[in-house]
């Protein structure tokens, strides 16, 4: 028999109910204390990755568009008002095809004027030629001084020179009439039209752009931090969004000598082999492999978080099965995750998911072996730890 039961039996009936309440409260307090004593520390299962060997190379990946190696900005060689446009964007043209015309009326008048000037010059040559021959006959018979003969010959030479100049002027005027037709100088595809019917254009103003048939290439823009990885002659891979199974071997043909003043990137041209599946304007992805100046490791994007304004990861201490924050230096972001330049080394175990639930010295449950990455290409291998 318990002490509380003995006390209840000895108490008067009036006090019995009060004593029962007190005894019950004492009993509940004892039970709560017993339950508190059996509460165990929470151990959270986590998903982790183990850092493998550092990467000795890295992939540079840039998108661009397919363009013709040669693009011609065509313009009229004379000024005038556009009266006809005979092609549209996307149309294939052949060498010699007329693409557009300007009004040739003024130039045709110039041809008539030049022809009349040439005719007058030729008549003048005939006149002074008769005078020269007459002077030669008189001089031969000693009826005229030699100075008169010299003057006649000089006048004839001047007339001949004037006639030759008139011929050149006529030829130039005839050429300008022909220049009223804008013709394609090579086979290609019209990719842009800058002037239309009714517009007055100056000589040399671009009216159309024609992409010349033949070799195609990809134009990409590379920032200065990666431009050293693109040298003329470097072999790269080109894939295309429109056809996932199409991958071609390309080669860097040209690298701009200076950065674009607006984007601060360098224009890089990558030549492609001839393939009928590659069309102008397609979006292409250029991949190049370059060496690392510093050893890099890769982790999933979900493994990185921020603390006190710094980028960190949570590493697992194998000895105590606890997690600890570690600051890292990010090199760049990739399609597969994050490339880390500093803060991690081979063998480190990093929490890959659920970083928002982590805290300093939090116990985690590691019930299985963490697989290490097999190669430098597969830097981090993900596994679930239960």
Question: Is 149 contained in some domain?
Answer: yes
Give the chain's radius of gyration (CA, Å): 46
Q: What pLDDT score does 221 carry?
A: 94
75-124 pLDDT, tens digit per residue, is: 999 999 999 999 999 999 999 999 999 999 999 999 999 999 999 999 99
Q: What pLDDT score does 364 carry?
A: 86
The pLDDT of 6-25, averaged and rounded, is 46
Q: What pLDDT score does 385 carry?
A: 36
| pLDDT of 386 higher than 80 | no
* 3-state secondary structure at position 212: strand
Of 219, 247, 251, nearest to 235 by C-alpha is 251
How many domains is the chain built from?
3
The pLDDT of 151-179, averaged and rounded, is 95
Q: What pLDDT score does 123 carry?
A: 95
Q: What pLDDT score does 382 carry?
A: 38
Q: Which domain holds residue 144?
A: 104-179
Question: Is 160 contained in some domain?
Answer: yes
Beta bridge partners of 255: 268
Q: Is 229 exposed, middle or buried (0-12, 13-18, 19+ CB in 10 A)?
A: middle
| pLDDT of 255 higher than 50 | yes
- 265 and 305 share one domain: no
Question: Is 94 contained in some domain?
Answer: no
Question: Is 154 contained in some domain?
Answer: yes
Question: Is 30 contained in some domain?
Answer: no
**Average pLDDT value over all residues in the chain:** 83
CB 220 within 8 A of CB 252: no
Q: What is the CATH number of the domain that holds 315?
A: 2.40.420.20
Report the number of secondary-structure helices (H) and strands (E) in the chain: 4, 24
- 224 and 237 share one domain: yes
Of 159, 161, 175, 163, nearest to 111 by C-alpha is 175
By DSSP bridging, strand 206-212 and strand 181-183 are unpaired
Q: In 227-337, at which residue ranges do the beta strands (DSSP E only) sit?
A: 235-240, 243-255, 265-271, 283-299, 305-307, 310-317, 322-327, 329-333
User: CA dist 15 to 3, 47, 260, Å?
Assistant: 17, 61, 97
Highest average pLDDT, of 9-23, 237-251, 290-304, comes from: 237-251
C-alpha–C-alpha distance, residues 333 and 349, integer Å: 20
C-alpha–C-alpha distance, residues 177 and 175, integer Å: 5
The pLDDT of 260-270, averaged and rounded, is 93
Token readout for 8 is: 């209840």
Q: What pLDDT score does 293 carry?
A: 64
- 173 and 109 share one domain: yes
- 317 and 270 share one domain: no
C-alpha–C-alpha distance, residues 350 and 297, integer Å: 12
**pLDDT category of residue 67 using cuts at 50, 70 and 90:** very high
Percent of the chain at pLDDT above 90? 54
| pLDDT of 377 higher than 50 | no
Q: What pLDDT score does 381 carry?
A: 37
pTM across the whole model: 0.58
Last residue of a domain, one of 240, 260, 291: 291
Question: Is 79 contained in some domain?
Answer: no
- 318 and 282 share one domain: no
CB 292 within 8 A of CB 58: yes
Q: What pLDDT score does 367 carry?
A: 53
Beta bridge partners of 57: 291
Report the Cα–Cα distance between both ends of the chain, in Å, rounded: 49
- 228 and 252 share one domain: yes
Question: Is 144 contained in some domain?
Answer: yes
Q: Among 63-77, 106-120, 163-177, 318-332, where is mean pLDDT lowest?
A: 318-332
Percent of the chain at pLDDT above 70? 82
Q: What is the CATH number of the domain that holds 140?
A: 1.10.287
Max CA-CA distance within the chain? Answer: 183
């Amino acid at each position: 028999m318990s002490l509380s039961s003995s006390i209840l039996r000895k108490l008067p009936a009036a006090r019995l109910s009060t004593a029962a309440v007190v005894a019950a409260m004492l009993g509940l307090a004892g039970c709560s204390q017993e339950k508190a004593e059996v509460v165990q520390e929470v151990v959270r299962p986590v998903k982790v990755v183990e850092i493998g060997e550092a990467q000795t190379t890295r992939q540079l990946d840039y998108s661009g568009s397919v363009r013709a190696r040669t693009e011609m900005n065509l313009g009229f060689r004379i000024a005038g008002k556009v009266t006809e446009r005979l092609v549209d964007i996307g149309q294939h043209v052949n060498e010699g095809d007329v693409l557009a015309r300007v009004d040739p009326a003024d130039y045709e008048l110039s041809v008539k004027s030049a022809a009349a000037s040439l005719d007058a010059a030729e008549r003048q040559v005939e006149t002074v030629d008769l005078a020269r021959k007459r002077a030669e006959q008189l001089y031969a018979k000693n009826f005229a001084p030699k100075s008169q003969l010299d003057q006649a010959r000089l006048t004839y030479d001047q007339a001949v020179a004037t006639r030759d100049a008139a011929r050149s002027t006529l030829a130039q005027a005839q050429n300008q009439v022909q220049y009223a037709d804008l013709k394609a100088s090579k086979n290609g595809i019209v990719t842009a039209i800058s002037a239309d019917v009714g517009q007055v254009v100056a000589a040399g103003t671009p009216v159309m752009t024609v992409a010349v048939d033949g070799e195609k290439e990809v134009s990409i823009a590379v920032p200065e931090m990666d431009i050293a990885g693109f040298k003329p002659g470097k072999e790269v891979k080109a894939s295309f969004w429109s056809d996932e199974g199409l991958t071609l071997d390309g080669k860097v043909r040209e690298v701009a000598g200076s950065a674009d003043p607006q984007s601060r990137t360098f224009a890089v041209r990558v030549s492609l082999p001839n393939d009928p599946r590659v069309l102008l304007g397609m979006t292409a992805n250029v991949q190049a492999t370059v060496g690392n100046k510093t050893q890099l490791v890769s982790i999933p994007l979900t493994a990185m978080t921020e603390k006190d304004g710094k980028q960190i990861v949570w590493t697992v201490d194998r000895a105590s099965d606890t997690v600890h924050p570690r600051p890292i230096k990010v090199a760049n972001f990739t399609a597969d995750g994050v490339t880390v330049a500093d803060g991690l080394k081979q063998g480190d175990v990093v929490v890959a998911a659920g970083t928002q639930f982590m805290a300093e010295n939090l116990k985690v449950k590691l019930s299985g072996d963490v697989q290490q990455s097999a190669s430098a290409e597969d830097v981090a291998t993900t596994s679930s730890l239960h």
